[in-house]
């Protein structure tokens, strides 16, 4: 009875391993199919950002993959009835190889493990040979390495950059704390310290969102079709980190605009996710102050007129606005500075019409 249970258990493990291989093959074929569909029927942005592979190249890759799979199948063919009966009578002497371990839920994986379909480009950051000597001239002993993997999204490709930082230690020299002297190439600082996104990936997402009018969710879909399905929280954290990094630049731009002789200010509506609305969006205003060469933005949580004085605080020269009541109240109250001179929207519009008529 125990021998039969062991045999069934080994057979179950073998079938589980075969099923895992089949699932991996199906996932790879789905990846090839998505690439074909994207190249044939994708939108313009998807074709521009897609992998630069022609249909013939993809078909050649698929045929090579299927040929390798067919070569493996005869070696792992099903046993004959005689072999099956012999296996049922013979006791199980060796257990089949165990199925690959499934990582615990919430455990963080390397990008190469989480996204096996992506290409991995490896580089080694090693210490120069002249610096691998201690104070006595003895060579340092290699004592380990630190591997950093990041997802790189550079139009039009997505891949994993793996950098190996090699460390060395001295066999005789020690420091003041009694530890062996070590040498190695330090890991450079990044926008998201310890994150899986490379700096150029964060920059591409931010430029696409704010300069190319490509929402972050569309970038996530493009990455997913390339075999890299990222979480929205990862992208949101990266965008916020880059925003914090650029905050001093925004303050410097605002200081320059405060000294400009004439600035224009206008508001626009942008939609913001609101958890209180059951994952729906709400209208929020964003104000732009510009002198024609650079711009500064101010976001407000609602559309009340009280935010007008906050937007123009510190601007004491000519201010061009539209007919919004918030600007009118700010001007009538002489805020934020008694010396504020405002060119009213009616006069500004009349002057523009007169210039157009004169030009015609």
Sign of the torsion angle spanned by Cα atoms 56, 61, 67, 70: negative
Q: Both 204 and 133 in a single domain? A: yes
- Is this model's pTM higher than 0.95 or not? no
Spatial contact of 115 and 162, defined as CB atoms under 8 Å apart: no
Is the pLDDT higher at 172 or at 336?
172
In-domain check, residue 97? no
At 1 the pLDDT is 67
Range of the domain at 46: 2-89
Residue 346 scores a pLDDT above 50: no
The DSSP symbol for 290 reads: E
Q: What is the pLDDT of residues 123-182, one digit of tens each?
A: 998 888 888 888 778 888 888 888 889 989 877 789 999 999 888 888 777 666 667 778
| Total number of domains in the chain | 3
In-domain check, residue 291? yes
Q: Both 195 and 237 in a single domain? A: yes
As a whole-number percent, the residues of the chain with pLDDT over 90 amount to 7
How would residue 104 be classed by pLDDT, with cut points 50, 70 and 90? low
Q: Both 228 and 271 in a single domain? A: no
Q: Both 288 and 194 in a single domain? A: no
Q: What is the pLDDT of residues 192-217, one digit of tens each?
A: 988 899 999 999 999 888 888 788 88
How would residue 336 be classed by pLDDT, with cut points 50, 70 and 90? very low
Q: What is the pLDDT of residues 250-288, one digit of tens each?
A: 889 988 988 888 888 888 888 777 767 766 778 888 888
Q: Both 224 and 265 in a single domain? A: no
Q: What is the pLDDT of residues 24-33, one digit of tens each?
A: 888 888 777 7
The H-assigned helical ranges of the chain are 2-41, 44-49, 55-75, 81-89, 111-114, 199-210, 216-225, 232-245, 247-258, 307-311, 325-332, 345-359
């Amino acid at each position: 009875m125990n021998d039969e249970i062991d045999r069934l258990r080994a057979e179950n493990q073998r079938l589980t391993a075969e099923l895992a291989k089949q699932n991996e093959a199906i996932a790879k074929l789905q990846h090839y199919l998505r690439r074909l569909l994207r190249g044939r029927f994708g939108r313009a942005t998807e074709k521009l950002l897609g992998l630069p592979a022609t249909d013939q190249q993809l078909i050649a890759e698929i045929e090579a993959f299927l040929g390798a799979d067919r070569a493996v199948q005869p070696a792992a063919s099903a046993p004959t009835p005689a072999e099956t009966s012999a296996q049922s009578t013979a006791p199980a002497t060796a257990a089949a190889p165990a199925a690959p371990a499934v990582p615990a839920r919430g455990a963080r994986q390397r990008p190469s493990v989480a996204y096996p379909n992506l290409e991995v480009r490896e580089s080694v950051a090693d210490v120069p040979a002249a610096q691998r000597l201690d104070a006595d001239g003895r060579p340092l002993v290699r004592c380990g390495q630190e591997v950093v993997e990041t997802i790189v999204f550079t139009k039009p490709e997505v891949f994993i950059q793996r950098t190996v930082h090699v460390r060395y230690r001295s066999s005789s020299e020690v420091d003041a704390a009694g530890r062996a002297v070590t040498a190695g190439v330090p890991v450079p600082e990044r926008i998201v310290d310890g994150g899986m996104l490379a700096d150029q990936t964060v920059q591409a997402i931010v430029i696409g969102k704010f300069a190319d009018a490509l929402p972050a969710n569309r970038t996530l879909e493009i990455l997913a079709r390339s075999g890299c399905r990222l979480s929205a929280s990862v992208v949101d954290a990266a965008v916020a980190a880059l925003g914090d990094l650029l905050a001093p630049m925004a303050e410097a731009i605002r200081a320059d605009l405060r000294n400009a002789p004439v600035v224009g200010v206008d508001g626009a509506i942008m939609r913001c996710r609101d958890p209180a609305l059951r994952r729906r969006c709400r209208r929020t205003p964003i104000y732009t102050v510009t002198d024609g060469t650079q711009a500064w933005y101010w976001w407000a949580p609602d559309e009340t007129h009280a935010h007008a004085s906050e937007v123009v605080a510190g601007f004491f020269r000519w201010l061009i606005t539209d007919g919004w009541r918030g600007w009118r109240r700010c001007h009538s109250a002489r805020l934020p500075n008694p010396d504020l001179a405002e060119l009213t929207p009616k006069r500004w519009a009349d002057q523009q019409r007169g210039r157009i008529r004169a030009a015609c």
